[in-house]
Amino acid sequence: MSKIVVVNGPNLNLLGKREPEIYGTRSLADLNDMLRARAAELRVQVSLFQSNSEGEIIDFLQKEAPGSAGVIINPGAFSHYSLALYDCLQALALPVVEVHLSNIHAREKFRSKSVTARAARGVITGLGFDGYKLALEYLTEQGGKH
């Protein structure tokens, strides 16, 4: 059974509480439950992780991503400036899909630039939880093809 690694960055642990008019009222636990259910339907495993620490995210990716079929990542604010995370994603040499719950291009100007997106096969922005589901389906269909 193939595995997809799902990483959520800073403040995503506050889903459902933080700016619900932007991010919705569902929690990170709700997102993880949805991903587990969809993964079971697709017959893939998901390895789920959230951290507010850049180093912890990089350590997790270096440990868990090799051998997986790909990575779904919502880097949160790290997407706008983390060259270290970009380097990590590049070094994995795996398909990566970057996901943002809100449309980063319709928000503050600084949010529209993602340095980590250059390491991704694709970026899904503004589709809420459905963006994660689409990324999971895409990576499952790719079957680890690079």
Listed in sequence order, the residues at least 6 apart from 69 whose beta carbon sits closer than 8 Å to its beta carbon are 2, 3, 4, 44, 94, 95, 139, 140, 142, 143, 144
CA-closest candidate to residue 23, choices 124, 127, 111 = 127
Q: Give catalytic residues, as residue numbers.
A: 23, 100
Angle of helix 83-92 relative to helix 54-64, nearest 10 degrees, comes to 0
Residue with tokens 């991010």: 23
